């Protein structure tokens, strides 16, 4: 059985995965509403205004670490005979979200850019909920390349 690293991080596949992840982020941001959605949109706009290209750079930088966090879930899913990785992830929403957010938390803690840190902190409190909502699409993205 191939690992997620072997599936998603090959030189020919990773750029496509990065693009799909960026598109997923854009779709998730544009679909947000309410107070927490407004906060997410404002933080995103702040980052893209003060650091153009930062989101693309962060996707490229963080995808390998995110894949590493998803690996145990993929291994369990692959042996369980489930049909949809997105459904599998959604059923473990809080746990998977925290695993993925551990990557961005570490990155934010290591950042020396006050504007980026402030924007991240403004959305981190509600981030689990937003990541959980995106998990079905994250799983679908992974499965797109794993088939």
Query: Where are the chain's structural domains?
Result: 13-146
* pLDDT band, residue 5 (cuts 50/70/90): very high
Check whether 13 has a pLDDT greater than 80: yes
Q: What is the mean pLDDT of residues 56-65?
A: 92
Between residues 4 and 122, which one has the greater pLDDT?
Answer: 4
Check whether 45 has a pLDDT greater than 80: no
User: Are residues 13 and 145 in contact, defined by beta-carbon separation less than 8 angstroms?
Assistant: yes
The predicted model scores a pTM of 0.85
What's the chain's average pLDDT?
88
* pLDDT band, residue 33 (cuts 50/70/90): low
User: What is the rounded distance in angstroms from the CA atom of residue 25 to the CA atom of residue 89?
Assistant: 17
User: What is the rounded distance in angstroms from the CA atom of residue 144 to the CA atom of residue 89?
Assistant: 15
pLDDT score, position 58 = 85
* pLDDT band, residue 128 (cuts 50/70/90): confident
Check whether 69 has a pLDDT greater than 90: yes
Check whether 49 has a pLDDT greater than 90: no
User: What is the rounded distance in angstroms from the CA atom of residue 123 to the CA atom of residue 137?
Assistant: 20
pLDDT score, position 52 = 75
């Amino acid at each position: 059985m191939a690992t997620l690293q072997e599936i998603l991080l090959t030189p020919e596949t990773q750029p496509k995965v990065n693009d799909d992840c960026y598109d997923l982020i854009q779709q998730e941001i544009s679909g947000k509403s309410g107070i927490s959605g407004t906060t997410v949109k404002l933080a995103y706009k702040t980052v893209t205004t003060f650091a153009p290209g930062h989101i693309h750079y962060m996707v490229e930088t963080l995808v390998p670490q995110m894949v590493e966090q998803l690996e145990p879930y993929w291994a369990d899913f692959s042996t369980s005979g489930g049909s949809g990785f997105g459904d599998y992830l959604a059923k473990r929403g809080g746990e998977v979200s925290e695993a993925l957010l551990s990557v961005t938390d570490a990155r934010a803690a290591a950042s020396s850019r006050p504007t980026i840190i402030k924007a991240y902190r403004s959305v981190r409190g509600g981030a689990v909920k937003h990541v959980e909502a995106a998990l079905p699409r994250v799983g679908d993205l992974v499965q797109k390349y794993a088939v």
